[in-house]
Structures are given as structure tokens and as C-alpha cells.
Amino acid sequence: MAKDIVLTGLRTNAEYHLGNYLGAILPIVERANTLAGEYQINMFAPDLHSFTTPVDHAKLYAQTMHNLGLFVAAGLPITHNDVFIYRQSCIPAHSELSQILQNFAYYGELSRMIQFKDKSVNKSDNISAGLFTYPVLMAADILLHRAKWVPVGDDQTQHLEFARDLAQRINNKFGEIFVIPEPVAKQHDFVGKTQGTRIRSLRNPENKMSKSVEDPAGTIQLSDSPLEAAKKVMSATTDSVGIINFDWQTQPGITNLLQILALLTNRPQDEVNTQWHGKSSYGDLKKAVAEAVSDALDKLQTNLAKVDNQALIDKLESSEKAMNDIANLQLLKVQQAVGLRPV
């Protein structure tokens, strides 16, 4: 019996930061290490999605390869036979299936997508059609590989439900063409938590840490030196309450530091909160977080320097060959169903 497929990935359009590391890279690596063998792990670089927002095209290829190297440095088991790592753009069927699916998606449902509305507000003249149809390409990414499990953060749950609706729409019209991924609630149960981790900016803790260059002091890039990163933590915005509490509403800066500390020391959040609850020295908390961040970056950067780039390229090429074979078979089923190929 074929193994269930777990599909996961992270856009490679810019340099990764601490929020990406804690909220996506480490969870992806952990799932690959714990689930490979029982499940097939498809870890892909959604590089075609890079164009939905401004990107430095001259650096995109090198940035993609660098970011994939970071996954390996973080522990992605690329030698495991059940782990596949591939670039979206190297599987042409993604683009063709997306083109077909667009004709079964509705303008109204795409225009209601929260991410599109958030990113397009006050920028209507310069928003690309690619951002509008982003959910369709994401649906193609999922449905092409018959993925049952697609762990996503809160900002992507609407897109996952859209992919389920689109798959069911096609199946109702043409028969059992697609595997329908599990609903969001089951996806959350599968990964063992109810919502994605969102690391906040160190300077503007009401906002998430961002790849944007507009917040350099609030963002710890994974390429920052350990010393530079520690200085950013020590300069983090806190509050005037004077007592340490885990409370996103009234003390987001302090709460963000407690969250980072728990994740980097691999301790339960409640345990870390109890340790620091009621203490008045924000400086001591910052020092503890700065040390944890510095140690994590030092380890990651040391591992990155040891990554065998040729082994990574070899893994990409073998995975992309296998994924092309699988994707082309699924695409053919769709082409036959819609009348593009003889049955």
C-alpha cells in the first residue's frame, strides 16, 4: 500500500530569519525525521510563488539554493528514501495544472482570500494577477502529488480549504481525479498543535517578524553573526509594566521573548513561563534569550558551512526526476478528464 504523503515547503524568495527558522524550518525538519518511513515526505521550494510579491530576480536562484542548504543544516534527512526535496519550477506539471484549475476556480472565492486582500490594500494598481491566483497554484502543488497531509500556518488555512473545495468540484464533475487533503482541524491534530508559531518583530512586537528590509532592527536574519543577533535581542522593545508575564495582549514584547526562549531551549512554554513569571528584571530575560539565540545561530551557521552542496544537488535531481514522473501521470488524468488527451 502506498504511503500517505506529507507535503510541506517554505518560499525561498528572500533570506530566512529567526521566525522562519522556529515557525517553519525546525517543524518541517522534525516532521521529516519522525515521520519518514511511515509517510512519504515531500519538501519543496515553491519558487514560482516568489513572484507574487517583489523579488530580486538576479538573486532568486542563488537564494533558493542557499535556503535549501539551511534546511539540510537544520537536520533535514536528505539521504532517507522517503524524503523528497524539489523545486516547484522544475516540475512543469505544476504550472500546467494551475492553468487548467484556474478555469474551475471562481473570481468571487479568490477575491475573498484574506492574504490577497491584506497584501493588495492601497496597492490596487501594482498588484499582480499572480497574487490573485496564488491559491490556484498552491492547490496544484497539493493535488498534483496526491498529498493527504499539508501542515500549514494560520495564514494558509483558507488556501488549504480552497484546495479541498476545488478538488471536490473537479471530482464531482469528472469522477475521482484527485485525493482530497484532510480538513484543517485534522491537519492541526496531525502536527500536534492548534495554530502555527508566529515570532514577532523585536522592535514592533504587534507585528510578525518579517523578511522585509523595512525592519532590520526587529528581525534576526539567519546570516546575522551571533553577536549581532544578541545585540538585537538586548535592544528588543518591551513595556513599562515592570513584571514578567506571558500575555500577548498587554505584554507582546515580553511574551515574544518567552516564546523564543522556550522554542530555542526545547522546553514547554508553561515551564518557561513559570520560571520567569513575576520577576522584574527584563534585562535578565533578554540576556537568557540573547544567549539562546546566539548559540542557535552559531550551531546553524557551523552546520551550514559543512553542507555538501553536491550531495544537495544530487538529491534535488533525483527527487525532481521522481516527482516529474508522478506529477505527469496525475496531470495526464486531468488532461484526459477535461478532453485535452484521448482516454
Catalytic residues: 119, 208, 211
Strand partners, 7: 42
Phi-psi domain of 159 (left: phi exceeds 0; alpha: psi -120 through 50; beta: other): alpha
Instruction: Please enumerate, as own/partner, the contacts of 161-168 that have beta carbons within 8 Å and a separation of 24 or more.
Output: 162/105, 162/109, 162/113, 162/135, 163/135, 163/138, 163/139, 165/109, 166/101, 166/104, 166/105, 166/136, 166/139, 167/139, 167/143
Degrees (nearest 5) of the Cα angle 168, 185, 249? 130
Residue whose entry in the numeric block shows the C-alpha cell 513584571:
243
